[in-house]
Amino acid sequence: MEQMQGIWALTRENIRKNMSSMSFHRWIDVLEPVTIQNGILIIQCPDGTTKSTLTEYYKDTLRMAAKQANTQIVDIMLILPDQRRDFDHDEQTATPSIYALNPRYTFDTFVVGNSNRSAHAAAQAVAKAPGRVYNPLSLYGGVGLGKTHLMHAIGHAVKQNFPTARVLYVTSETFTNELIEAIRMGKNAEFRHRFRNVDLLMVDDVQFIANRQSVQEEFFNTFNTLHNAGKGIVISSDRPPQEIANLEERIRSRLVGGLSVDIQEPDVETRIAILRNKAQQEGRAVDDSIIQFIAEHVPNNIRQLEGSLTKVFFYSNLKEEPITMALAREALKDLLPEDKKVDVTPTRIKEIVADYYHINLQSLMSQRRDKEVVVPRQISMYLCHDMLSLPYKRIALLFDRTDHTTAISACGRIETMMQEDAEFKRSLEDIRKKITEG
């Protein structure tokens, strides 16, 4: 273990040279080496956002730095607090009550808005009197809206309000895996001891335990034991308990018997507040207009919102440029809807068609009757009719013709040609695309 700490210290030094101190503080200082297994340095990230950012942008740097630190290292692996138990051999020293709580997910960092006000209030009430109010508390809502954050916040607050309280937070995945492992190893008693001797049990994303009979059975028993003993229970799921398919009726009715509160998608004001908060946490000054821009253009999920800001910061570091609107646009271009909507007008149609057939606009508008100009002219008329729904009379006038039957027969001709000639039809599609896409 001492060796691992030494390797980690060197790794950090190697990385520090290649990173701004701000980024280093944000992305590397928060990491914790866990162990080395078969030459793989296992590193714990505090949360999913950190892990995915590191994976996307810094993993190669990290790997190189670790290899440089010690030739015994062949690779690195990033894990979440949740997975830590899989690597901790020294279980006595791991404190199950807190190892899985992300220090950044507290009530202080949780922005309250209309979309999450009731969930926040219920969470705070539970944190003040776990087991005594709203028991069980179910938080439900779509992904990335703050359920996990609120559960961790409850955990931190309970530890603060009741320092001796035993708080256990697990994802339903961890619950399931540990149960299966316990059964396999014949350690059911240990498993029960671990989950039933707590003052507050929080199980995240319980929709995942539906479908598994044996896991539900154990969950139900754990639940009952704790509930009967007046211990607190908080669960989250992506939908209200009544709607979790395949969830045993007795569990469902237990959950419905407590308090269920939903978290909805945040409105623009809340999104702005979240972004401001996050920028501040990271010590970055971001202009209000840019915050507003991101809040208005990025979909409602808060995880994506945070990810967008991270991406903007990353771009700014990479290019060593200040955060401007242009930089934000560039960083987020994949997320933004195509904003070059073109205004389709008769003039635009005429210009594009003329250009496509290499003739000039005057010829298109002239009275010439040779094929080179007649077909493009008819196409232009047809597109004015088809794309703009202009009446024939109007179309004729747009081409300096007094007789509207000219426009009618032009459209008829083009339709026939499209039916008869696939090649012609394709070029028409081509033209249409040029007109709409700018």
Binding positions for ligand ADP, rule: CB under 6 A: 49, 105, 109-111, 116, 141, 143-149, 274, 302-303, 306
274 binds, among Mg ion, ligand ADP, none (CB under 5 to 8 A by kind): ligand ADP
Q: What residue 308 binds from Mg ion, ligand ADP, none (CB within 5 to 8 A, per partner kind)?
A: none
What is the C-alpha to C-alpha distance for residues 281 and 23, in angstroms, rounded to an integer? 13
Distance set, CA 407 to CA 232, 350, 397, 404 (Å):
77, 14, 9, 5
Which run of H or of E encompasses 227? helix 213-228
Q: Are strands 32-37 and 40-44 parallel, antiparallel or unpaired?
A: antiparallel
Query: What DSSP designation does 81 have?
Result: G
In the list ligand ADP, Mg ion, none, the entry touching 110 (Cβ below 5 to 8 angstroms by class) is: ligand ADP
Q: Which residue is nearest to ligand ADP (CB)?
A: 146
Distance CA(208)–CA(235), nearest Å, equals 12
Residues contacting residue 383 through CB under 8 Å, at least 6 positions apart: 349, 353, 431, 432, 435
Q: How far is the CB of 48 from ligand ADP (least distance, A)?
A: 7
Least distance to ligand ADP from the beta carbon of 331, Å? 19
To ligand ADP, the closest distance from the beta carbon of 422 in angstroms equals 49
Of residues 263 and 309, the one with the C-beta less far from Mg ion: 263
HSE-CB of 134 using CA atoms within 13 angstroms: 22
Q: Given the rule CB under 5 A, which of 143-151, 156-164, 239-247, 355-363 is the region that contacts Mg ion?
A: 143-151
3-state DSSP assignment of residue 137 = strand
Q: How far is CA 227 from CA 137, 223, 254, in A?
A: 12, 6, 10
Taking CB atoms, the residue at the shortest distance from Mg ion is 148
Q: What share of the chain is helix, strand, coil (3-state, %, to 5)?
A: 60, 10, 35
Shortest Cβ distance from residue 306 to ligand ADP (Å)? 5
Beta strand ranges found along 145-258 (DSSP E): 167-171, 200-204, 232-237
27's enclosing H/E stretch is none
Q: Which does 105 bind (CB under 5 to 8 A by kind): Mg ion, ligand ADP, none?
A: ligand ADP
Q: Which of residues 258-277 bind Mg ion (CB under 5 A)?
A: none
Site for Mg ion in 146-205 (CB under 5 A): 147-148
Q: Greatest CA span in the chain, whole angstroms?
A: 95
In angstroms, give the least distance from the CB of 39 to ligand ADP.
32
Which candidate, 90, 80, 82, places its Cα nearest to that of 4?
90
Q: Counting beta carbons within 10 angstroms of the beta carbon of residue 296, is it exposed (0 to 12), middle (13 to 18) or buried (19 or more)? A: exposed
Segment interacting with Mg ion, rule: CB under 5 A, options 144-152, 262-270, 297-305, 346-354: 144-152
Compute the least distance from the CB of residue 344 to Mg ion, in Å: 45
425 binds, among ligand ADP, Mg ion, none (CB under 5 to 8 A by kind): none
CB of 48 to Mg ion, least distance (A): 8
Say which entry of ligand ADP, Mg ion, none residue 144 contacts (CB below 5 to 8 A, set by partner kind): ligand ADP
**Cβ nearer to ligand ADP, comparing 32 with 306:** 306
Which residue, 281, 307, 280, 284, is CA-closest to 294?
Answer: 307
What minimum distance in Å lies between the beta carbon of 327 and ligand ADP? 23
Q: By CB under 5 A, tell whether 378 contacts Mg ion.
A: no
Structure tokens at 241: 């308990």
111 makes contact, choosing from Mg ion, ligand ADP, none, with CB < 5 to 8 Å by partner type, with: ligand ADP
Q: Which is nearer to ligand ADP, 53 or 135 (CB)?
A: 53
User: Nearer Cβ to ligand ADP, position 139 or 323?
Assistant: 139
49 binds, among Mg ion, ligand ADP, none (CB under 5 to 8 A by kind): ligand ADP
Question: Least distance (Å) from ligand ADP to the CB of residue 113?
Answer: 7
Per-residue exposure over 232-257, b if at least 16 CB sit within 10 Å of its own CB, e if not = bbbbbbbebbeebeebbeebbebbee
110 vs 191, which CB is nearer to ligand ADP?
A: 110
Nearer to Mg ion, 7 or 123 (CB): 123
CA 15 to chain centre: 27
Query: In the window 21-80, what residues touch Mg ion (CB under 5 A)?
Result: none
Is the Cβ of residue 153 or residue 431 nearer to ligand ADP in the bound state?
Answer: 153
Residue 305 Cα distances to 48, 187, 222, 341, angstroms = 14, 43, 36, 24
Residues within the interface to Mg ion (CB under 5 A): 147-148
